[in-house]
Each structure stands twice: as structure tokens, then as C-alpha cells.
Amino acid sequence: MRFTDSIGIPAPIRRAIEWQTQSHNPNSDISCTTAIGPPLLRWLRKRYEKHIVQDYRKLLWVLHGSLIHLLLEKFGGVDAELVEKEVKTTIENWVVSAKIDYVKEGDSLVDYKYTSVWAAKDGVKDEWTAQLNIGLFLLRTDPSTAEIGKAIKKLAICIWYRDWRKSEAADFPNEIDMLPVEVWPKEKTLAYITERVKLHQASDGDSIPPICTDTERWIGNYAIMKNNSKRAVRAGFKTRVEAEEALVTFKCDYIREATPKRCVGYCAYGACGFCPWWNPETQTTRETPVLKDSYDDKTAERDTEPRKDGNA
């Protein structure tokens, strides 16, 4: 990745952004967060990352979550606390790693999220639950932390709402909150991370990986319609399957497709034309993937905005 500076941002902030964008390159075959994420995104990153050009001002948001971790490093690590600890284990011949935010020995493992109230409106996200359980699994299997990991009984998200206001107090009484997370059985976690590793291994060659899932593309607002009507009969279906079932139940005529928000406004590779499944000119999904084999670096600048939940 290369950078431009359109507004004259001070050098320390530019260096911080460069550091942050490079800090997610672990010394392993795959990190926990990457394993949870789409195989297509990892494939695109490996193939086109060096051709992406971004303006510093569009990446100021990436520093928000880093501030939390810097606070942890400065003020954590006392009274049997473990902070910012990298743990690893081998799954399917790949080294899988995770950086543990905070552990209070003999008690709990905590992950910090600097995000919006919108992101937590439905409680703990599935990806957060998976992330913490993988972290616990690695904590227990890494020889350097195995004894600490065995004593952990609780998982939690410490969520810091970056956009909290008094008007949100009815649903979110506090600016910062602790959300308990389900602890999976060891067998469930191992099966999950093994499945994710295999998915990424299958997409590790030159062949184009499958398109991201609806969830990974942030699709969640299908609607059922009747001909000659502009208003939906029912809307807000999270999956197309749900919409298809409702189409029959309510005797509607067609499904209004949901917008893949990640593709439209938040994926640098799609915006630059590198994603084989997304056409940035028509803002539509391709039925057949098209591989971009030539490009102009000068035009490979991301025209996207940060994810609205500000997820750190």
C-alpha cells in the first residue's frame, strides 16, 4: 500500500497511520481475524495490496481502535494481568495466531472494541464470539500461556461507544460496557477454526475464490414486493432464503435485492476494480468473475469510507 497526503497531515500522524496499516501482519500463516474473514479478501490482499493507493485523511479512522490498545500497553500488565500477548498454535499445518487484548489471570479474557452503538444494537456479534473463543483456544494451546489459559472461565467484550450520547441512554445506559460472551466447548472451537483454515487454504492459489457470503458483504435488507407498487410488503430480511420464504407466504411477485454495503462503499479492492466479482462502474455483482490483469497504479486509489460501526 502507498499513501498520498491531500491536506498536509502532520508527519507523526502519517507515521502512525503507516504503522497501524502494517501492524496486522502477524508472524504466522494466518491470524485469527483473517481466518474469520472472507477467503476472497485475503486472496485480494496478497495479490493487489501493493497497488492500492490511499490518502491519509481517509485512514484517520484506523487510529481510533489503536488508541485503546496503546492505553492497555501503558497501563495494563499489573496484578497478574496479561495484555497484548500474541499466542499461536498449529492447525492443519498452518500456524494460527491471535493477539490477546487483556487477560486477568485465573478469571477472564477480555477483548476491547471501540465502536458505535449501532454495531452493538443486536448484542455480541457472531464474529466477536468466534474471535474470543479462538483467542481462548490459542491461549490454552500455546505452551507459553497454557497454564494461564486453563484457568480462564469467562469471556467478555469491553465495548467503548465512540458515538454515545444522552439520547442513547434508554438502550445504552453507559458509555462503556462489559458484554459477556458464550464460552464454546473446546471441540466446537477446534472444529470452527479448522474449517476456517481449510477454507483459506483452498483459496491460497491462483484460482479465483468464491464470492464473499451475504454476511461478509454486509447484506441484510432484502424486501418482498408486488408489481406496480413502490413500497415493500415486508422488508428487513437478513438473508435471501428468508425473503424467498416470505415471498410465497405473502403472495408477492418479486424480491428487491439487498445492497452489498461492503462492496459498495467499504472495500478498497472492489472500488479499484480488483475484485473479480464486483463491477465498480455499474455497482453490481458479476455472475461470472472477471480477473483484472492490467491496471494503472495512479487510479488505484480507494474511494471508500470507514465502516460505520468503527469496529476496532
Confidence at 307, pLDDT banded by 50, 70, 90: very low
The domain made up of 2-202 is a member of CATH 3.90.320.10: yes
How far is residue 136's CA from residue 216's CA, in Å, rounded to a whole number?
23
The whole-angstrom distance between residue 146's C-alpha and the CA centroid of its chain comes to 27
The whole-angstrom distance between residue 13's C-alpha and the CA centroid of its chain comes to 24
How far is residue 35's CA from residue 92's CA, in Å, rounded to a whole number?
13
> C-alpha grid cell for residue 181?
460472551
How far is residue 105's CA from residue 149's CA, in Å, rounded to a whole number?
8
How far is residue 64's CA from residue 75's CA, in Å, rounded to a whole number?
17
20 pLDDT more than 70: yes
Strand partners, 82: 103
How far is residue 192's CA from residue 38's CA, in Å, rounded to a whole number?
14
Confidence at 24, pLDDT banded by 50, 70, 90: low
What 138-141 contacts at long range (C-beta under 8 Å, 24+ apart), as own/partner pairs, is 138/32, 138/87, 138/88, 138/89, 138/96, 138/97, 138/98, 139/87, 139/100, 139/103, 139/109, 140/186, 141/87, 141/89
Give which of 24, 28, 14, 21 is closest to 52, Cα–Cα.
21
pTM: 0.84
Q: What is the pLDDT of residues 221-279, one digit of tens each?
A: 899 999 989 899 999 888 888 999 999 999 999 999 888 989 998 898 998 899 999 99
Q: What is the CA radius of gyration of the chain?
A: 21
Q: What is the pLDDT of residue 254?
A: 94
How far is residue 76's CA from residue 101's CA, in Å, rounded to a whole number?
10
Per-domain residue ranges for the chain?
Answer: 2-202, 220-258
**Contact in structure between 303 and 271 (CB atoms under 8 Å):** yes
309 pLDDT more than 60: no
296 pLDDT more than 80: no
Q: What is the pLDDT of residue 246?
A: 95
> C-alpha grid cell for residue 142?
500455546
Confidence at 294, pLDDT banded by 50, 70, 90: low
What 84-88 contacts at long range (C-beta under 8 Å, 24+ apart), as own/partner pairs, is 85/145, 86/26, 86/27, 87/135, 87/138, 87/139, 87/141, 87/142, 87/144, 87/145, 88/28, 88/138, 88/142
For 216, other C-beta atoms within 10 Å of its C-beta total 18
